[in-house]
Amino acid sequence: MRVTISNIKEMKARGEKIPMITAYDYTSARIVDAAGIPIILVGDTLGQVVLGYDSTLPVTMDEMIHHTKAVARGSEHSLIVGDMPFMSYQASVSEALHNAGRFLQEGGAQTVKLEGGVNMATTVQRMVSSGIPVMGHIGLTPQSVNQMGGYKVQGKTLKSAVRLMEDARSLEEAGAFALVLECVPTSLARLITERVSIPTIGIGAGKECDGQVQVFHDMLGLFTDFVPKHAKRYANLGETIAAAVAEYMSEVKDQSFPNREHSYHIKEEILADLQAKVH
């Protein structure tokens, strides 16, 4: 049975921490789902770690739907959150509803995530009233990186901290079932977590959030262009894969691969008959 938004809210109520990981394809979804992770985020970070863009901004709805479908096919239990890409929800509420609906109808997700606080509350409310569960995202919102002047910690001044508190409350009131806090000072993230009834999922926001989210490729050492401060590497699979590829190349060149174990055979008498017939 798949995890529901009610299950996620219940985890906060009983003080159980909520792990969330990104996945972008069938294979990674299978691995994450089998591990028992309750929430899979099909993040627009796929723009950088899968598609090679220099930010999340070029990611399209069609690309997000394509990858969300693959994740849906690879998971049976995790709650799937489709990350709404840049300009798929900002222009109008009707366009936001249409695109959010695509994630559920075409992509196989159960929920969507969007960036923004007070300015997105009306959109979130309309989505929720239309039957689309929404996860909010405040703090550092990468789709607004040009307006923010770079990837910077948010909420370090009194004015910006008050604004983030207002963002959190407005999303809660609009009906969001959970809230991502990205690159927010730990003490502020704790205050937000204490003062909203919905679960908070931190990324660079300290351990007192109700849960944490990490990018699959960051935590496994698969993406090496840069490593965010808030990412912890639990494995260096990039190095392991590079060594395996080098070993394969060496074995092909010295003809130690493929050997008999990796080859198919026919009986010697059939081979003899064949040779007699073809010359």
Instruction: Please identify every residue annotated as catalytic.
Output: 182
User: Residue 105: CB partners within 8 Å, gap ≥ 6?
Assistant: none
173 to each of 124, 179, 196, how far by Cα in Å? 10, 12, 9
* R_g over Cα of the chain: 23
> What's at 196, amino acid-wise?
V
Whose tokens are 């927010």? That residue is 184
Residues 44, 114: contact at Cβ < 8 Å?
A: no
Q: Which two tokens stand for residue 143?
A: 């789709």
Q: Which two tokens stand for residue 152?
A: 């910077």
Euclidean distance between CA atoms 248 and 234, whole angstroms: 25
